[in-house]
Amino acid sequence: MEYEELLKQEPFGVSQKEKEVWFYNYFTELTAYHKEHCPAYAKLLSALQVPEAFSSMSQIPMMPVSAFKDMKLRSVEEEDVFKVITSSGTTGKKVSEIYLDEETAANQQKTLVRIMEEVIGKRRIPMLIADSPEVLQDRNMFSARGAGILGFSIVSSRHQYAFNKDMNLDVKGIEAFLEKYKNGPILVFGFTYMIWKYFYGALKESEKKLSIPNGIMIHGGGWKKLQAQAVSMEDFKKGIQEVSEIKQVYDYYGMAEQTGCIYLECEYGHLHASTYSDILIRNMQDFSVCEIGTEGTIQVLSPMARSYPGHSILTEDQGILLGIDDCPCGKKGKYFKVTGRMQHAEVRGCSDTYEG
C-alpha cells in the first residue's frame, strides 16, 4: 500500500492492531529502501546486525535524533532535494538538517492537513499567528518556529500575525482581524512559551482582554520554559481563557525531524498518535519496550520519512504510554504524555572542563 492510501484512512479512526499490520509491512519495505539509498544507513544496519525480516515493529532500528545534527543523512540524490528543514534542538550550536524531496515535503503537508481536520474540520479557517512576521525574515530565527508557522499556514484561509517585529502585541491589527472573522472558527497558533510570554503576558499586564470565543488554540514546542516558571498545563489553559475567551486549547508534540505527523492533545489532555505515525516508549537500560504506565524514552515512527533515513527515531524526550484504543475521547491508537527532556548528567573525566 502506498502512503497515499494510508492518508485516506481516518486520522484517529484506525485501531492499533489494524495500523500495526500496515506499519509492519510498510516499515520493512522503507527500511530496505533506506538501506539501498543511504550508504551510511546501510552501514548502521549492518553493524547493528539488523535482520532483513523483523519479528515485530520494535525491531526496526532507531536512529538517534542527534545524528541529524552531525551528519547529512539523505536517501535521495542531491539534485532531488527540494527543501532542507533545520532545527536547532536543545544542544545549542549544532543544527539538525532534514533533507526533503518534493514527494516527502508534499506528504508532510497533506498529513498535517489531515490531522488538523480533527479539530478544525475539512475547510480552511482564518489563523491568528502568535508570533512576529519577522520570524520568517530573520535567518537566525527561522528554523523550528518558522517551519511550524509555514506548516500550519496551509490549513488557514487568511492569516494575521499577533505581534509586531518587536514582539509587542498588535492589538489593533488583531481586533480588526477578529471583527472581520468573528462569525466562524479562528485558529490561534504559536509556540507555547511565546504565547505565554507575549500573548498572555502582554494582555495580563495591560489588563486588556480579547474576545475569541470561537478560537481554537494549537500550541507546541515544549513545556520546559514554562515548567521552570512553575506554570502548569492547567494554569496555561485557564490563563488563556481568562484573557481571550479561547476555550479549546490543545498542545501538540512534534519535531522538525518528522515534520507533519504531529501528536495532538485531546480534550482529556492526552497526546494522540494519529493513523499516520506512531510511538514506542523505550526502557533505556536495554531498549526493551515499556509497558503502559512506565516512563521511558520516546521513539517516533513516521512512514513519511522517505527522502532521509528518519522513519524511526530515538528522541531525547521522556514519556509515558497511557493507553491504546481506549481514550475516553474516542480516538483510536496510542495515547501518551511527554514528561520532559532527559536530565543531563554531570560527566566525570579529564577534558572539556574549563567551564566553571
Partner 1 sequence: MKDETIIRLAGGWKGSEIVGRTLLEESVLCFLEDLSREIRSNPMTRNREDCAAFAFWCRRKHLESWKEALNDRESRLGWGMIFHIAPSNIPTLFAYSMVFGMLAGNGNVIRISSRVMEDSLPLCQMIEQVMQQKRYQDIYENTLLFTCERGDGCIETYTNLCDGRIIWGGDKAIEELRKIPVRPGVTELEFADRYSIAVIDTEWMKQRSEEELQQLSYQFYNDTFAMDQNACSSPRLIVWKGEDRKCFETWWEQCMETAKRYELSPWKVSRKYEEVCLNIMETDQIEKVRFYDNRIYVADLQECPRNPEQYDGRFGCFYQCIIQNLEELMPSLNRKIQTIEYAGVSPKELQDRIVEFGAKGGDRIVPLGQALSLDYMWDGINLIEHLSRVICTVERRGD
Please report, as ranges, the residues that interact with partner 1 according to CB under 8 A: 40-41, 43-44, 46-49, 62-64, 66-67, 70-71, 73, 284-287, 296-297, 314, 316, 318, 342-356
CB contact set of 121 (below 8 Å; sequence gap of 6+) = 185
**Rounded to the nearest whole angstrom, what is the least distance from the CB of residue 262 to partner 1 in the complex?**
23
**CA 62 to CA 31: how far, in whole Å?**
11
Q: Which is nearer to partner 1, 176 or 342 (CB)?
A: 342
Strands 312-324 and 295-301: antiparallel
**Rounded to the nearest whole angstrom, what is the least distance from the CB of residue 165 to partner 1 in the complex?**
33
**CA 110 to CA 117: how far, in whole Å?**
11
Q: Which is nearer to partner 1, 140 or 285 (CB)?
A: 285
Q: Which is nearer to partner 1, 244 or 318 (CB)?
A: 318
State the DSSP H helix or E strand holding residue 236, giving kind and residue range, or none if neither.
helix 233-244
**Rounded to the nearest whole angstrom, what is the least distance from the CB of residue 68 to partner 1 in the complex?**
11
Q: Which is nearer to partner 1, 49 or 55 (CB)?
A: 49
Question: What Å distances lie between residue 52 and 42, 55, 59, 237, 292, CA to CA?
Answer: 12, 10, 10, 47, 29
**Rounded to the nearest whole angstrom, what is the least distance from the CB of residue 278 to partner 1 in the complex?**
20
Q: Which is nearer to partner 1, 190 or 296 (CB)?
A: 296
**Rounded to the nearest whole angstrom, what is the least distance from the CB of residue 282 to partner 1 in the complex?**
9
**Rounded to the nearest whole angstrom, what is the least distance from the CB of residue 154 to partner 1 in the complex?**
33
Encode burial over 79-89: b for 16+ CB neighbours within 10 A, e otherwise.
eebeeebbbbb
**CA 68 to CA 45: how far, in whole Å?**
16
**Rounded to the nearest whole angstrom, what is the least distance from the CB of residue 78 to partner 1 in the complex?**
18
Cell match 490549513: residue? 155
Cell of 124: 480552511
Q: Which is nearer to partner 1, 40 or 233 (CB)?
A: 40
Helices (H), 133-218: 144-153, 171-181, 192-194, 201-206
Q: Which is nearer to partner 1, 69 or 272 (CB)?
A: 69
